[in-house]
């Protein structure tokens, strides 16, 4: 159960060059578009034209802002990991529930690739469930004070 996160590598020089060329082409196209759209003969109904131009200028500024940041894109060096994070996965069992379903659930949980600890909160304190938990390397817990229905198992 080794979890290996994917590593994000910084863009290569070739990728940076391609990105910068695309940004310059985009700037040229944007300037040509704005030059064309601002011609006096394109103005029809002035109030709607003004609203359209405000919207277009907003989106142009938004794209320029993105391109500005993409122009010098880089990725930071990966910090040294000081600890490995894990999760706890809990499932419950009550008397009368299908035993096969519990076994299938616990087996599926144990196949998770992320570092985790599996817990079975057994409401019935069933010896067969304890044996299955031991076989599947699942932690078994039973509460002695039974309140808050089945969900109370999570507050042991």
Q: What is the pLDDT of residues 46-75, one digit of tens each?
A: 899 999 999 999 999 999 999 999 998 877
pLDDT higher than threshold 70 for residue 139: yes
> Do residues 139 and 120 make contact, with C-beta atoms less than 8 angstroms apart?
yes
| 70 half-sphere exposure, CB direction, 13 A CA radius | 17
pLDDT at 132 over 90: yes
Question: Over the stretch 104-127, which tens digit does the pLDDT of each residue have?
Answer: 999 999 999 889 999 998 888 889
- 27: number of CA atoms within 13 Å, CB side? 12
Phi, psi (degrees; rounded to nearest 5) at 89:
-115, 125
Describe the strand order of the beta sheet including 139-141 as a list of residue ranges.
Answer: 87-93, 116-122, 139-141
């Amino acid at each position: 159960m080794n979890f290996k996160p994917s590593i994000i590598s910084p863009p290569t020089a070739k990728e940076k060059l391609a990105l910068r060329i695309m940004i310059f082409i985009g700037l040229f196209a944007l300037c040509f578009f704005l030059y064309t759209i601002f011609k006096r003969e394109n103005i029809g109904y002035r109030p709607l034209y003004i609203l359209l131009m405000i919207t277009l200028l907003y989106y142009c500024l938004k794209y320029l802002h993105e391109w500005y940041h993409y122009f010098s894109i880089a990725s930071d060096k990966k910090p040294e990991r000081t600890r490995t994070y894990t999760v706890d996965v809990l499932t419950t069992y009550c008397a009368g529930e299908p035993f096969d379903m519990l076994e299938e659930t616990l087996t599926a949980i144990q196949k998770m690739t992320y570092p985790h600890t599996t817990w079975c909160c057994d409401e019935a304190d069933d010896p067969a469930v304890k044996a299955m938990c031991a076989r599947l390397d699942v932690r078994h817990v039973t509460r002695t004070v039974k309140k808050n229905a089945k969900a109370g198992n999570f507050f042991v």
